[in-house]
Amino acid sequence: MQIFNEFFSKNLADIAILAQKRELKKYDRGNFPILRHNGQEFISFACNDYFGLSTKESIKKAGHNALQKYGNGAGASRLLTGDNILYQELEEKLAAFKRTQKALVFGSGYLASLSAIPALVGKNDLVLMDKNCHACHIDGVKLSGAKFYRFLHNNVESCHNFLKLHRHKFTKCIIITETVFSMDGDTAPIGELLSLAKEYQGALMLDDAHGLGFSEKSLNEQNLPLDEHIILLGTLSKACGGYGGYICASSLLIDYLLNKARGFIFSTGLPPAVLAANIAAIDIIANDKSLPYKTIQNANYFCTSMNLSKTKSPIIPIIIGNSKLTLDIASKLYEQGLLVSAIRPPTVAKNSARIRLSFSASHNIDQINKLINALKAIL
């Protein structure tokens, strides 16, 4: 292990110098948005629990009932005996809410990307990805062996240029972007990218991880994603407050993934309690439009008070630039009982370290005012 240990130590020392060393902190989050840590209470602006569903009583009860009825584990991969009957209900609800023919649930969003992309494209194919796309898609494309280029963030012309230069050399082509970008909270020019995908005989993959509950209205206005060129990828771990990932697409594509996506085939099904809680959460999200409304209202209350432009998403980045300074700001807020994410490279581009705030329908005005006052005193 000597060679390894020297390698580990050097790497850790290098990232520590860059203020990029990460560590785990233990939280008790039984009463979101209040989190407990080291016996102290904090208001969290760092969770993706946009509707507070992770700790909602009716959802806990649904999970509890399924645990009693079906036990803890799935027992096997879904293609063997792990396809608990709850999967069918969850997938039908997801497909109906997202308005696609079918849905397929995976172990996580990360696993969905790592499983689907290598099943959809290979070394004779082309992938064009927005520069700000989540790491899971970079990993998925690398695993696929497809040729890939990253186009400038939200820049349709940049994507088009890559298509003009390279599309003719490849068999299949996928353009990947996000409905709501995870570190910036902005949205993609989906209509224009879809037109490009069609013009160049490709598919558009939309990562909807932060869009669930928020993106449906604008997608529906464009009569999407009911379009065979669109592959929608999402997670049940954010607004849904649970765990798992999914792909919503045509019946044909889902049937293909079920047969070919390795992370689907060779991984165990989700625990039944998780499935039941996800079903209960999707029911709430599909029926209670006040949740996204309240969330965005909270985010906009903050934006207005801080003289920031208004938002359509729950994610607000405050770009600081320097990693060390970003960490200092986060720790000053921490001292005042406020949890925020200090996002640093390599998660975001060099010199764009930021405080990332996630607003939730669960926050009240007093809690948001506390954040505003603290930030105004620090910045």
For position 237 contacting ligand PLP by CB under 6 A, the verdict is: yes
Does 354 contact ligand PLP by CB under 6 A? no
* 184: contact with ligand PLP by CB under 6 A: no
For residues 187 and 367, which CB has a smaller minimum distance to ligand PLP in the complex?
187
What's the min distance (Å) between Cβ of 236 and ligand PLP? 7
List C-alpha distances in Å: 101 to 78, 149, 293, 317. Answer: 20, 30, 27, 35
Min. distance of Cβ 374 from ligand PLP in angstroms? 26
Give yes or no for residue 209 binding ligand PLP (CB under 6 A): yes
Task: State yes or no: residue 292 binds ligand PLP (CB under 6 A).
Answer: no
Contact 136, 110 (CB under 8 A): yes
Least separation in angstroms between CB 17 and ligand PLP: 28
Which own/partner pairs from 163-167 qualify as long-range (CB within 8 Å, at least 24 positions apart)? 163/128, 163/196, 163/200, 163/202, 166/126, 167/126, 167/200, 167/202
Task: Give the nearer residue to ligand PLP in terms of CB position, either 182 or 215.
Answer: 182
- 176: tokens are 């990947």
Q: Which is nearer to ligand PLP, 133 or 339 (CB)?
A: 133
Q: Is 245 in the site for ligand PLP (CB under 6 A)?
A: yes
CB closer to ligand PLP out of 134 and 363 = 134
- Please, which contacts does 37-45 make with residues 24 or more away whose CB atoms are closer than 8 Å? 40/337, 41/337, 42/334, 42/337, 42/338, 42/339, 43/337, 43/338, 43/339, 43/363, 43/367, 43/370, 43/371, 44/339, 45/338, 45/339, 45/340, 45/357, 45/358, 45/359, 45/363, 45/371
The answer to whether the peptide bond before residue 346 is cis (omega within 30 degrees of 0) is yes
Q: Rule CB under 6 A: choose which of 105, 136, 204, 296 binds ligand PLP.
A: 136
Task: Name the residue nearer to ligand PLP (CB basis): 86 or 240.
Answer: 240
Q: Is 343 in the site for ligand PLP (CB under 6 A)?
A: no
CB of 126 to ligand PLP, least distance (A): 21
Report the residue number, 200 or 214, with the smaller CB distance to ligand PLP: 214
Does residue 338 touch ligand PLP according to CB under 6 A? no
CB of 194 to ligand PLP, least distance (A): 19
**Three-state SS at 201:** coil
Q: Shortest distance, CB of residue 233 to ligand PLP, whole angstroms? A: 7
SS3 136: helix
How many Å apart are CA 138 and CA 131, to the nearest integer? 10
| 334: number of Cβ within 10 Å | 16
User: How many angstroms separate the CA atoms of 339 and 44, rounded?
Assistant: 5
Q: Is 109 in the site for ligand PLP (CB under 6 A)?
A: yes
Near ligand PLP by CB under 6 A, which window of 64-72, 85-93, 102-110, 214-222?
A: 102-110
Q: What is the DSSP string of 328-348?
A: HHHHHHHHTTEE-EEE-TTTS
Task: State the number of binding residues for ligand PLP (CB under 6 A).
Answer: 13
> How far is Cα 330 from Cα 23, in angstroms, rounded to an integer?
14
Question: Interface with ligand PLP includes 207 (CB under 6 A)?
Answer: yes
Phi, psi of 353 (to 5 degrees): -55, 150
Among 44, 54, 100, 108, binds ligand PLP (CB under 6 A): 108
Q: Which stretch binds ligand PLP (CB under 6 A): 3-11, 12-20, 107-115, 287-295?
A: 107-115
Judged by the rule CB under 6 A, the positions of this chain that interact with ligand PLP are: 108-110, 134, 136, 178, 182, 207, 209-210, 235, 237, 245
